[in-house]
Structure 1
């Protein structure tokens, strides 16, 4: 039976497009059943429509609290019976109840080599810190912001001329490579979580996270 994926977005959806393309190429053994956004103007919804994928909008502004929005989001996601929920630029801090509900099947991609530079403005902070390399990480989502178990990364070198914008563009290209790989690994069962530690093909990644370098 084909695995079911639901993708949550808030913006342009370029990582969503990378996953759509990988599904279309049969590189990912699954089907994107729905793309859900908290913003009606998110261009990612158009990407989904062009690919024939169901779209939903659930605006957080219609709810009095983060918790009530997240409970409504859980109900909406469950209509599509997902094996995996993928955050692709979903700009909301999730409540503990939401994270716990989807524990082990909720992925996020973050634009830094975690655990460095959790939170926002990662590219600017990497430049200011004098880092020699920067990148992106895919991780399971936990209650700690950008603190869940990482199981694949991609690294880029920093140039002296790099600005936050140029660095962001370099990192985004790598995001488009590793996010489809991460989704594929999870759906194929190659990634397993045991005691909060990710294992790839039975080998612990606690101190040896796969990293693509360019």
Structure 2
């Protein structure tokens, strides 16, 4: 049976990042994720994501939404709208599904039924305080720490949700909570959340790609999650 095809979008940096992408690739090779990862896309041409891709034998695509003339030339498309470029990249890769894993750029035009994101905080907390513009990286975990130190929260975690054109507002289908301890630094919070992400992301990704978790892309009432899988694990 042919495995479903997945393209991963991961920003990374020159010096780090991309561990979620690598974790998905390794899971696909050991059976934890029943999928073929056909490519990885990064907005950093020379960085950790490319290094991981080359080491793992996964095709690498450089795409910076703020400057993508190289992509237009390579794909040979006339419509230069951002949404059309995203769609062309996915189509050209041969992917049926899109996973955003540390992708820090705005997404437009992708099929919300087949595009999903992992966010390193609980989007349900404090009326969505830890989602939206600017909520990524160290700034995000420092905001979580500040809320914890102020007694507003006792845990962090991560969320997985379908992706719409509105940042971090697609329906959440899974959250995993990570207890916080007194005197934890922002870096320690980030490490604890990342460890939980690496454990759960392949499992939940597999459920999405095989239809156990699904959404019609329009009405949040149509979001389907197995009854045994709680929204918050």
TM bin, normalised by shorter chain, reads 0.7 to 0.9
Please state if 1:8 is matched with 2:17.
no
In structure 1, distance between residues paired with 2:209 and 2:38: 14
Given that 2:144 and 2:156 are in contact with CA atoms closer than 8 Å, whether structure 1 keeps it comes out as: yes
Q: 1:139 aligns with which of 149, 161, 179?
A: 161
Deviation at 1:70, TM superposition (A): 3.9
Match of 2:77 in 1: none
Computed over aligned residues only, the root mean square deviation of the Cα atoms, in angstroms, reads: 2.0
Q: CA contact under 8 A between 1:124 and 1:164: conserved in structure 2?
A: yes
> For 1:91-120, what per-residue CA distance to the aligned partner results, in whole angstroms no more than 9, with x for missing partners?
10223xx2xx32111111111111221131
Higher strand share: 1
Question: Map of 1:195-206 to 2, 5 A cutoff?
Answer: 195-197=219-221, 198-201=223-226, 203=227
Task: Name which of structure 1's ranges 15-24 and 153-162 shifts more when overlaid on structure 2.
Answer: 153-162
Match of 1:76 in 2: 89
Q: Distance in 2 between matches of 1:8 and 1:168?
A: 20
| TM superposition score normalised by structure 2 | 0.79
Q: Is the 8 A contact 1:9 1:42 kept in 2?
A: no
1:176 aligned onto 2:181: no
Alignment coverage as a number of residue pairs: 202
User: What's the TM-score, normalizing by structure 1?
Assistant: 0.86
In the alignment, the residues of structure 2 paired with residue 148 and residue 163 of structure 1 have an alpha-carbon distance, to the nearest angstrom, of 30
Question: Which residue pairs with 2:178 in the alignment?
Answer: 156
Kept in 2: contact 1:4–1:33 (CA 8 A): yes
Gaps of 5+ in 1: none
